[in-house]
């Protein structure tokens, strides 16, 4: 039950943070900003907080960062691009996926190198 509450509370905080970013940054690039920053953070947090409790890690990863980043908005944008141009949609999906993985890897490396435990 504690783990479920940790995810739920983290999800509430993360979705509010994302809504705040969307309100402050009225740009088509906000989806990229949120997803890449969230990917960087989840990599950093994985390295930095690996020794913390499962509840704390679930709060941060599944809850906070999982709701801050937005796969549903990515999917919606992808489908719109696919309707306009198949190749543009494929390029968008490949670029977002590759950039997010690279950001998570960079966050993991930074967390391992400069993480204070």
How far, in Å, are 6, 39, 43, 66, 72 from residue 2 at the CA level?
Answer: 6, 25, 24, 18, 27
Q: Is 97 annotated as a binding residue?
A: no
Which H or E run includes 50? none
Q: Which residue has the tokens 């950093």?
A: 44
Termini Cα distance of the chain: 28
> Is 69 marked as binding a ligand?
yes
- Match 């989806």 to its residue by tokens: 31
Report the SS3 class of residue 115. coil
Phi–psi pair at 70, nearest 5 degrees: -145, 95
**Residues of the binding site for Na(+):** 66, 69
**Residues of the binding site:** 66, 69
């Amino acid at each position: 039950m504690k783990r479920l509450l940790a995810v739920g509370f983290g999800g509430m905080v993360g979705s509010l943070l994302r809504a705040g970013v969307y309100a402050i940054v009225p740009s088509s690039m906000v989806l990229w900003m949120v997803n890449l920053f969230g990917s960087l953070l989840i990599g950093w947090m994985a390295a930095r907080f690996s020794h913390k409790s499962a509840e704390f890690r679930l709060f941060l990863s599944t809850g906070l960062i999982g709701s801050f980043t937005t796969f549903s908005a990515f999917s919606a944008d992808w489908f719109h691009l696919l309707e306009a141009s198949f190749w543009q949609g494929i390029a968008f999906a490949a670029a977002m996926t590759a950039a997010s993985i690279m950001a998570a890897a960079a966050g993991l490396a930074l967390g391992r190198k400069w993480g204070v435990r």
